[in-house]
A and B are shown apart, each in its own frame.
Chain A
Amino acid sequence: MRLGRDVLDGKLVVALLNALPALLIGSGLALFVGIPAGFALGRSRALATMFDPVIDAVYTIPPVAFVPFLIIWFGLYLWARVALVFLMSIFEVIIAVSTGARDVNPGFLDVGRAFGARGLMLAWKVTLPAMLPFLFLAVRIALVRGINAMITAELFFAAVNLGFLMNDDARRFDTAGLLSVIVLLALFGLLVQEGLKVLEARALPWHLREAA
């Protein structure tokens, strides 16, 4: 009921739309940095041995603990939220992509080499297509974690958009209003996740056939 009313009168929709830039910029940056980094870690054993422990260690830090630090660097508004989204998704992207790059069937690489592919060409024509499912996974993780980070950021930095609505509802003991924001976020997260799964099934039908 309440969710319907708030969505209809546009309050929630506007807040959600205003929240999106931080999500898109942050997840986009995380993918932009994380995919090449993950690729390098997955394909080079030496790099992986050098940096896996560091990444694992930093990954165990609760991201919210960085909030005061991010405030010092980025202030309270858009760029602070972007930074938190970036921090919360980058490690998961790196882990997903490096797992994918590591798991590429060596047979494919041998065939590529036998046909004379080397270095960049081998990476572009063989490794990359072979790890496409993991790239989809990386995008999905980046966005779902990003949505998570987006609302966290809106509550922990200056309360704006959805975070502002939640604070406002909480002050008036309006649990229906709070729940409608939470449900909206959950539905939005599910929509993004399932949407990307459908897209993946369309784009990579052979992958699903293999799995089945």
Chain B
Amino acid sequence: MRTLALRTSGVALVLIVWELVGRRLGDALLAPPSSVIAQFVPQLLDGSILAALGGSLRQMFVGFALAYAIGVPLGVAMARLRLVDALVHPWLNMAVVTSVAALVPLVILFLGTGFWFQVSIVFIAAFWFVILAVYHGARGIEPRLLEVGRAFGARPLQSFSKIMLPALFPYLFAGARIGLTHAIRAMVVAEMFVIVGYGALIHNAGLTVSTAPLLGLILLLMVLGIVANWSLTRLSRLLAPWYEHRAGG
């Protein structure tokens, strides 16, 4: 009860300060929440914004799914096989510190600015973070579990699917959450660079007199991120409630 009151008051405080500062500065500099709602909600109901977002998300999901499908086995392989680790780890270190934005001009030269360009930017951004999460999970698997498996005659593939995957479960979700966050970021980077889809909407909103539509679009991305995080956490609790206390869901 007290927690709820504190939470609401925190959010309310931020909104009130924003409203007051926004009224002072005016719509051109910082539109207050009241005018964001007044101007953005009609645009949102019009449907074209959601259509653009849907189109962008489709490409994002293709990239993210590819990154996940390749990243998970590779992360496990890195953790269990010294050779793969030696081959991939230097690239992992380098990729994690490198900005996706810096790769955008290069990828454009190879792939143009279409569907595959956006898919590959999202892929590059999410891939390494999926690997990182799964790698740390797989390193932490207790050797005893694998030994029991071997004692019962499990072959490598069997021990992967029967022992490692269940043990990795919380990390698979952590990887999905982190990867998805980076995938959404990369989607925005790619689209704002070539000015298409939802990124184009943000770019064009920046050129108008009022900041209200722009802030509305930014808030919509925030809602998207929160919903994605929340539903992944929910899903992992539904599928494996016994992992609740580990790895933060």
Contact = CB atoms under 8 A, between A and B. Distances in A.
Interface of A: 46, 49-54, 56-58, 60-69, 71-73, 144, 147-149, 151-152, 155-156, 166-167, 169-170, 173, 175, 178-179, 181-182, 185-187, 189-190, 193
Interface of B: 3, 6-7, 9-11, 13-14, 28-29, 93-95, 97-99, 101-106, 108-109, 181, 184-185, 187-189, 192-193, 202-203, 205-207, 211, 214-215, 217-218, 221-222, 225-226, 229
Contact of B3 (A49, A51, A64, A69): A49
Contact of B11 (A54, A149, A178): A54
Shortest 7 CB-CB contacts between residues of A and residues of B? A68-B206, A60-B225, A50-B10, A189-B97, A152-B101, A62-B188, A148-B99
A60 B105 contact: no
A50 B98 contact: no
A24 B184 CA distance: 27
A72 B206 contact: yes
Contacts of B189: 62, 64, 152
A7 B217 CA distance: 41
A63 B181 CA distance: 11
B72 to A, nearest CB: 23
A139 to B, nearest CB: 15
Nearest to B13: A50
Nearest to B192: A64
Contacts of A173: 109
By CB atoms of chain B within 10 A, which of A173, A182, A193 has the most?
A: A182
Contacts, number: 132
A147 B101 contact: no
A155 B104 contact: yes
The prevalent SS among residues of A at the interface is helix
Given A69-B214, A170-B108, A185 B226 contact: no
Given A64-B192, A156-B192, A156-B193, A190 B93 contact: yes
A83 B178 CA distance: 24
Contacts of B207: 68
A62 B185 contact: yes
B226 A60 contact: yes
Contacts of B6: 46, 49-50
A168 to B, nearest CB: 10
A57 B226 contact: yes
A71 B98 contact: no
B77 to A, nearest CB: 23
Contacts of B13: 50
A66 B211 CA distance: 11
A179 B106 contact: yes
A54 B10 contact: yes
A53 B7 contact: yes
Contacts of A152: 99, 101-102, 189
16 contacts: A50-B7, A50-B10, A50-B13, A51-B10, A54-B10, A54-B14, A57-B225, A61-B218, A61-B225, A62-B187, A69-B214, A72-B211, A152-B101, A156-B193, A167-B105, A187-B94
B237 to A, nearest CB: 18
Given A50-B13, A61-B221, A67-B206, A182 B109 contact: no
Contacts of B109: 170, 173, 175, 178
